[in-house]
Amino acid sequence: MDFDAFFEQELERLRNDGNYRIFADLERHAGAFPRATRYDGENTQHVTVWCSNDYLGMGQNETVRAAMHEAIEKCGTGAGGTRNISGTNHYHILLERELADLHNKEAALIFTSGYVSNWATLGTLGARLPNCVILSDSLNHASMIEGIRHSRADKVIWNHNDVQDLDRKLSLIDPSRPKLIAFESVYSMDGDIAPIKEICDVADKHGAMTYLDEVHAVGLYGPRGGGVAEREGLMDRLTIIEGTLGKAFGVMGGYIAASAALCDYVRSFSSGFIFTTALPPAIAAGATASIRHLKDSNEERMAQRDRVATVRARFDALGIPHMPNPSHIIPVMVGDPTKCRWISDVLLDTYGIYIQPINYPTVPKGTERLRITPSPLHSDDDVDHLVRAINDLWSQCALARQVA
Ligand SMILES: *Cc1c(COP(=O)(O)O)cnc(C)c1O
C-alpha cells in the first residue's frame, strides 16, 4: 500500500468538504495581550487576537510569569519523571492543595491537560465501577466522549441541558446500578450554562454521582474564580469538579477536585495519570500563582464582563446577530461555511483581526459562526475596530441583520 497516497487522498476529501484546518502561526506578545505577530510564509503581520481562551490575559500576568521564572531557576525545566517515579515536585503538591481549596473539596489531582483529566477520570470510573452507567449531555466535549467510550461503560445520552429528559432516562435504569452524570457548566460553542442545581436535584433523587466540567468557567465565575458552581453555592453538591489550567488560568494542565478517596482512587488506577511525565514544576508554580491571584482579585472578571457587554451592545445597535447567552462567549452567527471562512480571512488579512471561523463538524451545519471572546485587555479602540470591520463585511456578504 502507498501509505502517503492514502493520507493525501483523505486530506483532499477533508479540503473538498471545507473541513481542512489551517492554523494561524502566531507569536503572542507578553505585556501586550491581545497583540501577536502572525507569520505567513515570508511575511509577518501585527494582529489583535479576538478568539483566545486565555480569557483574562493571565498568560502574561506579571505574578504568574515571575512564579514560572523563579521555579525554573529553582528546579530546572522538566519534572524528570512520572508522579510515581521521581516526578512529584513540591510545586505539584502546592497546586493540588490550592485546587482543593478553590473548589472546597478534600482533594484535587492534576493531569497534563484538561483533555487528559476528562479522558482519564471518566475512563477509569466508567471501567471500574461495577456495572456503571454514564449519563452524558448530548453536547459534551470530545474529551469526555472519548473517556466514556474508552471506559466501555454503558452510555446514555440525554438531551442538552434538559433536566426532564435526564430524569426520565435515569428512571429507566435499574436503581441498583451505579450512575454517573457527566456535563459542563459553560458550553464552549453556544456559551449557554447548565441548570446545575436542577441536575444535582435529579442526581440525588436517583442516587447518581455528578461530574461537572467547569473548563470554560474556572477563574471567570464565582467570587474566587471557582466556577459557576461556586457562584451558585453548589460546589458541595457535585461529586467531581473538573477544570483546566490552560484557559482562564493562562498556563497548562487539567485537574479534578473531589473527595480524598475518589482522588486517591483515580491516582491509583488511572493509566492516563500514572504512565506519563508529570507537568514541569514551573507550570505548576505558574498555575498556582494564577489561581491565587484570581481568588483575591475580581478586577479582571469585572473588566471582562464590561468588555463583553460593550461588544454585545455595539453588535445589537448594528443588528449583527449573536447568540444570546449568559456567558462571556459571543457567537456571531454567520450561518454559511464559505462566508464564515471568507469573513475570517479578510478580517485577518485586511484588518489584522484574528477570529478563527467555527464550521461543521465543530458546530452543526447552518450555525457556522465567529466565536468572539473579549478580554479585560481589549481596549475601546480594539472594540471599535472589531465592530466596524464586522459591520463592513456583513454588508459585503449581504448577510441578514436582526431588527432590535
Ligand atoms: C478545552 C476543553 C477541555 C480540554 O482542556 P485542555 O486543558 O485544553 O486540554 C475540556 N473540556 C472542555 C469543555 C473544553 O472546552
Let me know whether 81 and 48 are in one domain: no
Alpha carbons 334 and 344: distance in angstroms, whole number: 11
- By annotation, the residues acting in catalysis are 247
The response to whether residue 147 sits with its C-beta less than 6 Å from ligand 1 reads no
pTM, two decimals, is: 0.97
> Which residue's CA is the closest to the ligand 1 atom numbered 15?
188
Determine the pLDDT at residue 404: 63
Ligand 1 mean position, distance from CA 115 (Å): 5
Let me know whether 242 and 342 are in one domain: no
H or E element, residue 163: helix 163-171
The response to whether residue 117 sits with its C-beta less than 6 Å from ligand 1 reads no
> Which of 229, 262, 296 marks a domain boundary?
296
Let me know whether 181 and 81 are in one domain: yes
Let me know whether 322 and 283 are in one domain: no
Let me know whether 186 and 332 are in one domain: no
The C-alpha cell at 276 is 506519563
Let me know whether 237 and 318 are in one domain: no
Let me know whether 232 and 320 are in one domain: no
Query: What's the Cα-to-Cα distance from 133 to each of 170, 182, 233, 244, 401, rounded to whole Å?
Result: 10, 11, 27, 25, 45
Cα dihedral 93/95/100/104 (nearest 10): 140
- 8 domain residue, yes or no: no
DSSP letters along 35-100, please? EEEEEETTEEEEEEESS-S-TTSGGG-HHHHHHHHHHHHHH-SS--SBIIIII--HHHHHHHHHHH
- 378 domain residue, yes or no: yes
- 53 Cα nearest atom in ligand 1: 1
Ligand 1 mean position, distance from CA 245 (Å): 9
251 phi/psi in degrees, rounded to 5? -120, -110
- 1 domain residue, yes or no: no
pLDDT tens track, the chain, 404 positions: 999 999 999 999 999 887 889 999 999 999 999 999 999 999 999 999 999 999 999 999 999 999 999 999 999 999 999 999 999 999 999 999 999 999 999 999 999 999 999 999 999 999 999 999 999 999 999 999 999 999 999 999 999 999 999 999 999 999 999 999 999 999 999 999 999 999 999 999 999 999 999 999 999 999 999 999 999 999 999 999 999 999 999 999 999 999 999 999 999 999 999 999 999 999 999 999 999 999 999 999 999 999 999 999 999 999 999 999 999 999 999 999 999 999 999 999 999 999 999 999 899 999 999 999 999 999 999 999 999 999 999 999 989 998 76
Let me know whether 276 and 338 are in one domain: no
- 402 domain residue, yes or no: no
- 18 domain residue, yes or no: no
Let me know whether 155 and 217 are in one domain: yes
DSSP letters along 209-239, please? EEEEE-TTTTTTSSTTS--HHHHTT-GGG-S
> Which of 276, 296, 316 marks a domain boundary?
296
- Three-class DSSP category at 403: coil
Alpha carbons 140 and 119: distance in angstroms, whole number: 12
> Which residue's CA is the closest to the ligand 1 atom numbered 8?
114
Neighbours of 342 (CB within 10 A): 16
Ligand 1 mean position, distance from CA 362 (Å): 14
Specify the CATH number for the domain of residue 187.
3.40.640.10
Ligand 1 mean position, distance from CA 215 (Å): 6
Determine the pLDDT at residue 403: 75
Determine the pLDDT at residue 10: 97
> Which of 296, 330, 360 marks a domain boundary?
296
Total domains, the chain: 2
What are the residues facing 45 on neighbouring strands? 38
The response to whether residue 143 sits with its C-beta less than 6 Å from ligand 1 reads yes
- 153 domain residue, yes or no: yes
Quote the crossing angle between the two packed helices 90-102 and 281-296, to the nearest 10°.
30
Let me know whether 109 and 232 are in one domain: yes
Domain with 88 in it: 61-296
- 4 domain residue, yes or no: no
Let me know whether 148 and 272 are in one domain: yes
Neighbours of 350 (CB within 10 A): 11
Whole-angstrom Cα Rg for the chain: 22
- 164 domain residue, yes or no: yes
- Quick one: which of 275, 270, 280, 220 has its CA closest to 240? 270
Specify the CATH number for the domain of residue 351.
3.90.1150.10
Residue with cell 464590561: 306
Determine the pLDDT at residue 33: 95
- 140 Cα nearest atom in ligand 1: 13
Residue with cell 488579512: 349
Residue whose CB lies within 8 A of the most ligand 1 atoms, among 138, 144, 247, 358, for a mutation test: 247
- 187 Cα nearest atom in ligand 1: 13
Ligand 1 mean position, distance from CA 335 (Å): 25
- Three-class DSSP category at 136: strand
Let me know whether 50 and 65 are in one domain: no
Q: Which letter, b or e, does each residue of 202-224 get, where b requires 16 or more Cβ atoms within 10 Å of its Cβ?
A: bbeebebbbbbbbbbbbbbbbeb
Alpha carbons 347 and 363: distance in angstroms, whole number: 21
The response to whether residue 112 sits with its C-beta less than 6 Å from ligand 1 reads no
